[in-house]
Copies of this chain bind each other. A is one copy, B any other.
Amino acid sequence: MKRVLVCLAPGFEEIEALTVVDVLRRGGVEVIVGGTIEGPIEGRSGISVLADMSLDEIDAERLDMIVLPGGMPGATNLKEDLRVQDIVQSLHKRGKYIAAICAAPTVLSALGLLEGKRVTSFPSVKDQLSETDYREERVVVDGNLITSRSPGTAMEFAMKLLELLCGREVMEKVNQGVMAKLSPSD
């Protein structure tokens, strides 16, 4: 079974984070919601969520993917978290999937992982990604790197992550089950 870490920090964007958790679990992926702090974590829209565990407890070597939601100050909190940095670097070295949406691609940029890479992001942080091959697309895949733009692209982002982890057939089945309007490949 594939194992995915979705990171939550105070100020995370709720739709971006939780759509991914929901869709991947529907596809049979083991999703760990890992929190930067103990106790309830409040998102940017005031919804408080309990993480499954602290990032202190994460074994990066056993992950197939990390997902970084956007939202402010959630993305800034992720960027400044040494554990997030270490886990991302561990996945990068092993060629595993690294996914970021909205403002969160800036977390990867700060680690020097995006130079020359095809990426997208929330439009307002585009200027912080000047070293990239920036695309105005809703979901962008470049090798093991997946980026997306906003709460409104979260469902397409989640479906693309599921397709990469479990194949097109599983993704299509979940896509039909939740009646998402478009598969990311359409």
Residue pair A178, B155 in contact (C-beta under 8 Å): no
Which residues of A22-39 are within 8 A (CB) of B? 22-23, 25-26, 33
Cβ contact within 8 Å between A40 and B45: no
Copies of the chain in the assembly: 2
Interface residues of A in 147-181 (CB under 8 A from B): 149-153, 155-156, 175, 177-181
Using known A-B contacts A178-B150, A182-B181, determine if residue A15 contacts B19 with beta carbons closer than 8 Å: yes
**How many residues does chain A have at the interface if contact means C-beta atoms less than 8 Å apart?**
34
CB <8 Å contact, A49 and B46: no
Contacts of A151 in B (CB 8 A): 19, 22-23, 155, 178-180
Complex-state Cα separation, A8 to B21, whole angstroms: 18
